[in-house]
Structure 1
């Protein structure tokens, strides 16, 4: 069967579109897989390790330290797999070491419990600090998502709205401010929990509290970007 030029043109236009759709689906599936892995290795495994060791009669400090170390192979694996040293995994490893050393010096296992709060607080302050720059955090964070959905040309069109649409700039700054403020406040709440609750309750309550906060942030984020026209 001989195709007409119009049919050929349609096929040529459809093929890249189908390819882009497959690529977006693959990237979305990879992102979901990464999130599940992070939840397991960085939250579920250390938490399960702590309570498993406590049930076996291991002391609180040792259980906390070993539970934290369970996430170490995952962090190292991420660095090796990507073949480059990234800031966040290295920073997390540094916090683990510093927290363990401080806990050894002070003899207080609660120092280990507030380690993650330092990370959240620093990230929150950094996100808020980007509000004073030309590219707030959410502009940078959105790049990979926009590229996966609409490609390089679509990203350039989306990014150009920053220079031409005041409302766009306002919405980007607002959602960046919400993320920064929530992460900072969450860090403060987790410090309070670490020093007021019975020690064995802190890992479970703190993890549950963070999951609730994260879920709330994601729901707000999705609704806001949809309603404000930021979603692609």
Structure 2
């Protein structure tokens, strides 16, 4: 008796778009809604600025750790984010200054930007690593392996990923400088909103470039 065959149908374009939307929605909630919404909700309830800043950070750290345990795989980006949250929280506990925690975002973006730029010297530039979650969400693990295998035999693929990494790294590094200036010049309650808005402008500009570049150079999964 023949063993039953396992059929793996190719995902339709609509299924791919839906998977990407779900992935981006999760990122939006963790990166924007929880920290910003949590801060202002706690401040409206009369919580002091220090606790209002640290509570959402601890929640995000828990979410990152939960996903790492559930998926039995630690993403480099998630581990980096979690470590920076912990470091920033500990420094705030030592100094007792809410602005220290606000500058933590600058550390995250600044160090991440430098990490991206440094990864250009390796065989795994940041964009190659960071694409795993999105490509996997879009076309599955096997699809990601096929996409990533292009690195070994396609010089243009390698060059294009390095260009994207350089653009993202530069944007994150420059954004960190702006965040530091905001953290030490604006009123505390204004910093989370203004900092988030300016980041959305930067992110929007980089995403537009990213999408155009990826489409033009055939990098889409």
TM (normalized to structure 1)? 0.76
- Contact 1:190–1:206 at 8 Å: present in 2 too? yes
- Contact 1:54–1:60 at 8 Å: present in 2 too? yes
- Contact 1:49–1:70 at 8 Å: present in 2 too? no
Give the match for residue 188 of structure 1.
177
Q: CA deviation at 1:231?
A: 4.3
- Contact 2:109–2:172 at 8 Å: present in 1 too? yes
Give the match for residue 83 of structure 1.
72
User: 2:102, 2:76 → 1: CA distance?
Assistant: 22
CA 1:100–1:143: 2 relative to 1, 3 Å: closer
- Contact 2:36–2:193 at 8 Å: present in 1 too? yes
- Contact 2:77–2:130 at 8 Å: present in 1 too? no
Q: CA deviation at 1:53?
A: 1.9
Alignment RMSD (CA, Å): 3.0
1:43 aligns with 2:32: yes
SS at match of 1:50: helix
- Contact 1:124–1:179 at 8 Å: present in 2 too? yes
User: 2:75, 2:54 → 1: CA distance?
Assistant: 24
Q: CA deviation at 1:226?
A: 2.5
Deviations along 1:126-172, whole A, 9 cap, x unmatched? 2111222345333444567399399455654575221xx5xx55444
- Contact 2:151–2:158 at 8 Å: present in 1 too? no
Q: Which moved more, 1:121-130 or 1:95-104?
A: 95-104
Give the match for residue 137 of structure 1.
126
Larger RCO, structures 1/2 (Cα 8 Å, 6+ apart): 2
Give the match for residue 128 of structure 1.
117
Gaps of 5+ in 1: 1-14
SS at match of 2:208: helix
What is the number of residues matched between the two proteins? Answer: 211
CA 1:62–1:137: 2 relative to 1, 3 Å: closer
Gaps of 5+ in 2: 1-6
TM (normalized to structure 2)? 0.79
User: 2:121, 2:99 → 1: CA distance?
Assistant: 35
CA 1:224–1:62: 2 relative to 1, 3 Å: same
Q: CA deviation at 1:194?
A: 0.9
Q: 2:60 aligns with which of 67, 71, 91?
A: 71
CA 1:125–1:201: 2 relative to 1, 3 Å: same
Q: CA deviation at 1:42?
A: 3.1
Q: Which moved more, 1:80-89 or 1:108-117?
A: 80-89
Give the match for residue 9 of structure 1.
none
1:21 aligns with 2:11: yes
CA 1:84–1:227: 2 relative to 1, 3 Å: closer
